[in-house]
Homo-oligomer: A and B are copies of this chain.
Amino acid sequence: MVEKLQDSYLAAHDQLYRSLRMRIMYGEVSPGQAMTLRGVAEEFSVSVTPVREALKRLAAEGALSISVSGRFQTPALTNDRIEELAALRALIEVELATRALPRAHMALVERLQTINNAISVAVAKADAVTYIRTNLEFHRTLYLRAQAPAMLATVETVWLQMGPTMRALYGRLQRKDPPMHHRLILAALKAGDEPGLRVAVRADVTQGLRMLAR
């Protein structure tokens, strides 16, 4: 048998989980879309057993909702729920950014600027999925410096729950400008300005919410 590299091997249900998680978090599926065990199993050429584990896990994280009869679908969030999730993002991400600030050196800021350029390109192309993915990559790259894995995992769960809805919102948002608040975040990082950073992160996280209140 071919020798497998330790970290190249993943159980089938774990590969499924990661693939589906990316689809949901980055808005590649729309809210309310159904997922069936046998449908996913056929697509990935596995049996239903690993699919069940992956879907159940996603449901446990709020990435999928389960109907009373046990069927899976991406959740269609109410406005109240969206407000709540945005508030959670604000709470946790402000803390993560604050913890990252003393560790944010120039190399990190440069990487963030590179990612920010990729976001601008996605905005120019009106590519919603790429926009969401690179935007979250911007935040994740910053927060990784906070050395707070539990907080990062928690906020990623929030991102996951908002994925399909963010995609649907992006359509009606009609973005034309690259992310303004990201520039404020970068400026505050360079200046070591903690209060400014907190305000900028909070504003960036809650900005999309205003479009919703109409």
Binding site for B on A (CB under 8 A): 11, 13, 49, 52-53, 56-57, 60-62, 70, 81, 84-85, 87-88, 91-92, 95, 148-151, 153-154, 157-158, 161
Contact = CB atoms under 8 A, between A and B. Distances in A.
Contacts of A57: 56-57, 60
13 contacts: A11-B70, A49-B49, A52-B53, A53-B56, A61-B61, A62-B150, A84-B150, A87-B151, A88-B92, A92-B92, A150-B161, A154-B154, A154-B158
Number of copies of this protein chain within its complex: 2
A59 to B, nearest CB: 8
Given A53-B53, A87-B148, 10 more contacts: A56-B57, A57-B57, A57-B60, A60-B60, A60-B61, A62-B150, A62-B153, A84-B151, A91-B95, A92-B92
9 closest cross-chain pairs (CB), A and B: A57-B60, A84-B150, A91-B91, A60-B60, A53-B56, A84-B148, A85-B150, A56-B57, A91-B95
